[in-house]
Amino acid sequence: MILNLNKPIGWTSFDVCKKIKSITKEPKVGHGGTLDPFASGVLIVGTGSDTKALDIFSNKNKSYRASIALGVLTNTLDIDGKLIMQKNVPKLYKEKIKSVLSSFIGEYDQIPPMFSAKKVNGKKLYEYARKNITLQREPVKVKIHSILLESYSKNKISFSVTCSKGTYIRVLGKEIAEKLGTVGHLDRLIRTMVGEHNIKDSQSIKTFEKSWKSFTQARK
């Protein structure tokens, strides 16, 4: 079974898999691409023998809507992190913001953040980061297919982006802020699409649980 679920804010991707495992009693449950706890949106979950197909979803292009809180940098590059730097925000102009966003279109080398599940020497980077250890990370080639400005105010920019697998939107947000002459972190992230799977078709975990109970009762 392949599920298109809308991951709630505050849950890890593992939390979602654990919940689906408890609902379905399937011993094997996995997901096709991690979403950070502060993020919500499309999480593809597979159960049983369908977990073998999850790599297909991990490799698909993904789309997001995000907003950057400018002038404040956190250690995790998102709203859950600790404040590590503040900087004045220059006056923003629509054309300037659009120019900065469009400068990311195409392939570029992105350095994975320390607070990530990427493994180095058999350990996840966030395990080092939690001990205040910073490692040299190899840049990863990613591709931004499209990026559009949705709105902006004095200290905030909202945008939508479609990108290749392995792209860290938290890092992209930090880099956008730097190109605008300040610092920033993501205070909102919604994954709206994984391949052809759209958030419009995503089920909440509660909805799935109700339908699963109805399904199992009907089979008795």
pTM above 0.85, yes or no: yes
Please state at what angle helix 13-24 crosses helix 205-219, rounded to 10 degrees. Answer: 20
Question: For residue 220, what pLDDT band results from cuts at 50, 70 and 90?
Answer: low
How confident is the model over 48-66, as pLDDT tens digits?
A: 998 988 988 888 999 999 9
Of 15, 36, 50, 55, the active-site residue reads 36
Q: Is the pLDDT of residue 132 over 90?
A: no
Q: CB of 71 within 8 A of CB of 178? A: no
Stretch 101-118: mean pLDDT, rounded?
Answer: 92
Question: For residue 18, what pLDDT band results from cuts at 50, 70 and 90?
Answer: very high
Lookup result for tokens 């998102």:
78
Q: Does 187 qualify as catalytic in the annotation?
A: no
Mean predicted lDDT score pLDDT of the chain? 93
Phi-psi category of residue 121: left, alpha or beta, with phi > 0 → left and psi -120 to 50 → alpha? left
Q: Is the pLDDT of residue 217 over 80?
A: no
How confident is the model over 193-203, as pLDDT tens digits?
A: 999 999 999 99
How confident is the model over 150-183, as pLDDT tens digits?
A: 999 999 999 999 999 999 999 999 999 999 999 9
How confident is the model over 76-108, as pLDDT tens digits?
A: 999 999 999 999 999 999 999 999 999 999 999
How many angstroms separate the CA atoms of 195 and 199, rounded?
11
Q: Residue 108 has which token pair? A: 């570029």
